[in-house]
Amino acid sequence: MNVKRKIHYTIIKMKKRISLMKKFFILIYDITAIVVSSILTLIIANNFNFEALNFTELSISALCLTLAVQLATYAAFQVYRSVLRYSSLVVLIKILKAALVADIILLGIFYFSSAYEKIPASVFAIYPLLIIGFLAFFRILVRSYHEHNSTSHLNKNVLIVGGGEAAEIFIRELKKTKNKIYHPVAILDDDRSLHDRDIHNVRVFGAINQIGIAAVKFKADMIVIALPSLKAARMKKILTIVMETGLPVRTLPSLDDITSEKISITALRDVSLEELLGREPIDFDCSIVRMNLTRKTVLITGGGGSIGSELCRQVIKFNPKKLLIVDHSENNLYQIEDELCQNFPQMDIALYLMSVTDVSAIETLFFKYKPDIVYHAAAYKHVPMLENKICEAMKNNFYGTKLLAELSTKYQVKKFVMISTDKAVNPTNIMGATKRAAEIFCQNLNAQVTTQFITVRFGNVLGSAGSVIPRFKKQLKKGGPITVTHPDMTRYFMLIPEACQLVLQASAMGRGGEIFVLDMGEPVKITYLAERLIALSGKIPYKDIDIVFSGLRPGEKLYEELFHEGEQLEKTDMHKIFRSKSRGVSWQSFQKVILNLVKNLKENDEVSLRKILAELVPEYQSTRVDSKAETAVECSI
């Protein structure tokens, strides 16, 4: 320990000595500058007549006086407190003030002293210009040296797309940053009036479509898109052009975040999923949702999952009387509790670790709190996995929904909102068929009771647990390959916050018995997503990172549908929300099938369950191939 302390103290002493040496060197330079400036001033004032120069005792005393006054003003204006390598306009202004004040003091002394009456008056105009020039030149030279030395070790040469306010702030902040990670080499913007002009000494090279030429010319390592307020469709087009360079792409935070100092300008972020898909943000009608949720007791099942947790985040903003969150995953429940309690400490939140199939636990919850609105997001969603686990799929997706729906009726819940999926339309898998069976149950129960049963159906949500994007990113991080099931596989995609906003709107406007279908936009090829992610990372698809097609998995189909051909789809007053008229069934016959289903669930009879599921959902066409290797799953109610 003593050795370490000695080494530590030795290093500190060395640093102090080096610092003193630097200060001493600066002082010597400034003294030299004062002497040289004084001599040059006399030479210029005497019209370069060197014979007129006469270094007498008087002139030496004048020089010493100048030195004393000048150094005193430096001290007064704290010129030496600034670090030389970070000299800026502020330091130059200090030097200017010190030189002018010293000049005025010297003028006064020489004017009132008869000893100095032979000094030309022009000296007092020439001297401050020379001394300011010498001192400023030295400090600018030192700063330029350090900047050049640091930029020679920079990690990335950056091309900037966009020449607006965000680009100006970005470049300005980079110039001030000590640890220079990024070095801006050129700007591209479609505004021709900016071409061949500079923004903080960075040239606007040309239009955005010239980025390929610019990337080669300036040896770029990265592209930064400085267009934080651009519309999604335009951003998607720019990304298409930018990604052809094969360079990694980053974007700036929003201007609001930058100006409010929430995010550092140098904290570049990955291209978001919204930008990748070119989806415009939806117009969210808060008023109708606020009327539906404010001061209500709201129950959210699956509240720790991707959709359920986002519903919790959005519902709590409308000041519900109480928020009840149910999830069977301990970790998911803990995470959403931790987040909501930190962000909304004043809200009344109750969390329950339980399954939606636990009859006594769920009924106790309904009896105790009597919720006004139920958002049922709990479900098993993994298509290939559920193909061989029909018992668990039926128990959770159908029986769990049936139990919640019946308890909602018993305890006079006003609205029951079921989150469904596009896989429930013409289902070819167990997951979709069980969700469709749950849809049919809720729709037809609505006609028997006062509780309003509303179904909201949408496609895949990007970034959810088990979705392709997180899996692709993991594969990309490992260096590939990225696996896609089929080159023609397409899916509808929506962002989780967007989907939940539309769920809240649909539930607010629903009156019971409807299936609301969310406008998912155009279907996207999974291969396209994989190629875009590879390109955004600065790699070339099929060359740097391969894409391997593994074949369709059990229960999968190439494309999904949002509504059945027999469902009449009609527009609503809400943008991006459509209403589908439900198909009625014989309630008595349906109930008999359900009783048979519950009996076979208890007996774990998978063969009978498949037949019953086909009876409940006539459009269900299984693509399953039976396998002797199939493992039995225990299931009980």
How many Å separate Cα 361 from the centre of its chain? 39
**Nearest C-alpha neighbor of 287 from the set 511, 507, 62, 505:** 505
How many Å separate Cα 43 from the centre of its chain? 64
The residues that bridge with 160 in the sheet, in sequence order, are 187, 224
Q: Are 183 and 156 in contact, with CB atoms under 8 Å apart? A: yes
CA–CA separation, 390 vs 632, rounded Å? Answer: 10
How many Å separate Cα 179 from the centre of its chain? 23
Question: What b/e string do you get for 434-464 counting C-beta neighbours within 10 Å, with b at 16 or more?
Answer: bbbbbbbbbbbbbeebebbbbbbbbbbbbbb
423 tagged catalytic? yes
Which backbone phi and psi does 277 adopt, to 5 degrees? Answer: -90, -15
CA–CA separation, 583 vs 585, rounded Å? Answer: 7
Q: Are 300 and 311 in contact, with CB atoms under 8 Å apart? A: yes
In the structure encoding, which two tokens stand for residue 371, read together? 């919720």
Q: Say how many residues make up the chain.
A: 637
Which backbone phi and psi does 548 adopt, to 5 degrees? Answer: -110, 135
Q: Are 265 and 175 in contact, with CB atoms under 8 Å apart? A: no
**Nearest C-alpha neighbor of 476 from the set 419, 512, 530:** 530
Quote the DSSP letter at residue 584.
P
Q: How far is CA 69 from CA 72, 76, 109, 112, 253, in A?
A: 5, 10, 10, 16, 50
Pick the catalytic residue from 94, 381, 415, 423: 423
Q: How far is CA 61 from CA 44, 65, 105, 344, in A?
A: 20, 6, 16, 74
Q: Are 266 and 179 in contact, with CB atoms under 8 Å apart? A: no
CA–CA separation, 176 vs 349, rounded Å? Answer: 46
| Neighbouring C-beta atoms of residue 14, cutoff 10 Å | 10
Q: How far is CA 429 from CA 161, 403, 426, 585, 614, in A?
A: 46, 23, 9, 22, 11
Q: Which helix (H) or strand (E) holds 373?
A: strand 373-376
Quote the DSSP letter at residue 193.
G
Q: Which helix (H) or strand (E) holds 232?
A: helix 232-243
Q: Which helix (H) or strand (E) holds 458?
A: strand 452-458
Q: How far is CA 281 from CA 233, 244, 308, 497, 553, in A?
A: 11, 26, 20, 10, 33
Residues with a catalytic annotation lie at: 423
